[in-house]
Structure 1
Amino acid sequence: MMPTTLAARWQQLTATLGISDALREATFRQLTAAYEGSGRHYHTLTHIRALLETQERHKELIREPAVVQLAIWFHDVVYSPRRTDNEARSAVLAQDFMFQTNLTAEQRARVAFLIERTKDHTQPQLAADTDLHFFLDADLQILGAPEADYWQYARQVRQEYRLVPDMLYRRGRRQVLEKLLLAPILYQTTLFRQLLDTAARRNLRTELRQWEKGSL
């Protein structure tokens, strides 16, 4: 049975990594503090839980569960709306932790690679990398959520960028939405494509039209 609390999920994930209880607990506190930061509204522990639960529901699609789960835990640990290197910095923190585990160099590199690929979900992806495809799709599943959930997400992201003037945010957000809509492939896996692609593109077009009118 999969643990239900995030603390228990972290405990189960790290139980076989050859680390001390002190490191396990300190890293969990570090992750929790980051995701519960006062500036976080969407990129929170709720987002992490959603990805972990998605991974558990479709675990038969995952080749390296521990690698994917570590990528989930660390992929947004650094999140500063005014920086462009959040993914790289998150990957570094993941590496700092993993160097103290019994993971192989290849596994550590894989975790960092998965995290860094979240910088741009529209870039071409390696055709055979099923774990990468699943991870990226799970990260974007909110785009295909029911309308009310999508609008909550859109407003939460705006709150995270609350220090950015509305005019600048509107311009940047429109560019993001247009880039996503122009992507020939939004979801890499057949599963997510069939379940979410139509709804995601509808939500994106609706938000884009709203920004063209002025604001959310």
Structure 2
Amino acid sequence: MTLLIDPPAWPAHGTLWSHLVSDTSLHELRTFARAQGLGDRGFDLDHYDVPAERHDALVAAGAVALDGRALARRLGASVLRVPGRERRRASRAELLDRWSGLWAPDARRHARAVGAELVDRWREPHRVYHSRLHLADALDALDVLVADGAPGSARLAALALWFHDAVHDGEAGRDEERSAALAGTMLGPLVGGAALAGEAAAVSPHDVDEIARLVLVTTDHDPAAGDLTGALVSDADLAVLGSGPPRYARYAAQVRAEYGHVPDDAFRAGRAAVLDQLLAAGSLFRTEAGRRRWGGPAGTNLRAERDGLAGGPPDIVRS
């Protein structure tokens, strides 16, 4: 177990704060933090913010005290660090700007309250992988697909991505159903009064039904042949599987930490079943652009993770 903490040096809310990190495992970080009574709200993508009065107790419990620069170097050398540019993309302000960009100027005031609630949902403290960072990544991946010429409605796909994990309680299938229902509830008041950017028509009941349907596509990522917008949503959601090995390793570590309540043996068995299903699916990506960009790397990443589940803790990762 490698847990690191720097001195209280960051002022906020009337006190000084330390950073508590692990440079090998987000799972061990979250497990340790919870055991020491630190709330999940203190977790910020790759570290916990810890008030000064807890510093010495955490060192006594096993965290290694380092100066701030040494801790930053250790975290920066691992795959677990979330760089500043990614933090900015996933910030509340940036995400709300992206949400507002989907709506015509005269509709933004009414739509902004919906966007604000969605961002709050993506920022729920129990999330580690299915977080505001995943939302930003999926929206970026959609932009890449559209820029590469993938057909379908980019606007409806973007709205579906905003809702696709808006409910995340760790219940496969039920989460998607609840997220789809939430889309209908939250978008319903905007029907007829909010025009999508670049479109003359207001959001219609059909649009809302389509967005809910697209959310359900992420249940099994198996859009029907000819479902061009469903293919956009599915590929954008799965794009992380085709990322570079360090980014994929961070994704795997985030998933393990998010399901930290599951014992290691049970997690390995469940995760192996998920990976086997993905590997047996053939082409995971349904757009030509997605297959070209992410198909090969995704297969390599999934096989490497599957092979690694045979021994050792499931999320010990190094760059």
Q: TM-score, normalised by structure 2?
A: 0.61
Corresponding residue for residue 26 of structure 1: 113
Report matched runs for 1:119-158 at 5 Å.
119-121=219-221, 123=222, 125-158=223-256
For the pair 1:69 / 2:158, whether they are aligned, the reply is yes
Question: C-alpha distance in 2, partners of 1:85/1:120?
Answer: 12
The answer (yes or no) to whether the contact 2:139–2:236 under 8 Å persists in 1 is no
SS class of match (2:283):
coil
Question: C-alpha distance in 2, partners of 1:50/1:97?
Answer: 23
For the pair 1:170 / 2:268, whether they are aligned, the reply is yes
Unaligned runs of 5+ in 1: none
Corresponding residue for residue 208 of structure 1: 306
CA shift in 2, pair 1:44/1:109, >3 Å: same
Question: C-alpha distance in 2, partners of 1:176/1:138?
Answer: 19
For the pair 1:88 / 2:186, whether they are aligned, the reply is no
For the pair 1:191 / 2:305, whether they are aligned, the reply is no
- Where in structure 1 do 4 or more consecutive aligned residues deviate above 6 Å? none
Instruction: Give per-residue Cα distances to partners, 1:125-172, cap 9 Å, x unaligned.
Output: 321111111210111111111000001000101111011111211111
Shift in Å at residue 83 of structure 1?
5.4
The answer (yes or no) to whether the contact 1:19–1:100 under 8 Å persists in 2 is no
Shift in Å at residue 187 of structure 1?
0.9
The answer (yes or no) to whether the contact 2:235–2:285 under 8 Å persists in 1 is yes
CA shift in 2, pair 1:82/1:189, >3 Å: closer
Bigger radius of gyration, 1 or 2? 2
For the pair 1:44 / 2:131, whether they are aligned, the reply is yes
Whichever structure has more strand as a proportion of its residues is 2
Instruction: Give per-residue Cα distances to partners, 1:23-64, cap 9 Å, x unaligned.
Output: 433322211221111111111112111222232334343432
Amino acid at match of 1:109: D
Corresponding residue for residue 104 of structure 1: 204
How many residue pairs get aligned? The number is: 209
Amino acid at match of 2:162: W
SS class of match (1:61):
coil
Q: TM-score, normalised by structure 1?
A: 0.89
Question: C-alpha distance in 2, partners of 1:169/1:71?
Answer: 29
Shift in Å at residue 19 of structure 1?
5.1
Shift in Å at residue 82 of structure 1?
4.2
Whichever structure has more helix as a proportion of its residues is 1
Question: C-alpha distance in 2, partners of 1:199/1:20?
Answer: 39
Corresponding residue for residue 79 of structure 1: 168
Identity over aligned pairs, percent: 32
Question: C-alpha distance in 1, partners of 2:167/2:291?
Answer: 28
CA shift in 2, pair 1:77/1:202, >3 Å: same
Question: C-alpha distance in 1, partners of 2:133/2:286?
Answer: 23
For the pair 1:13 / 2:111, whether they are aligned, the reply is no
Question: C-alpha distance in 2, partners of 1:194/1:66?
Answer: 23
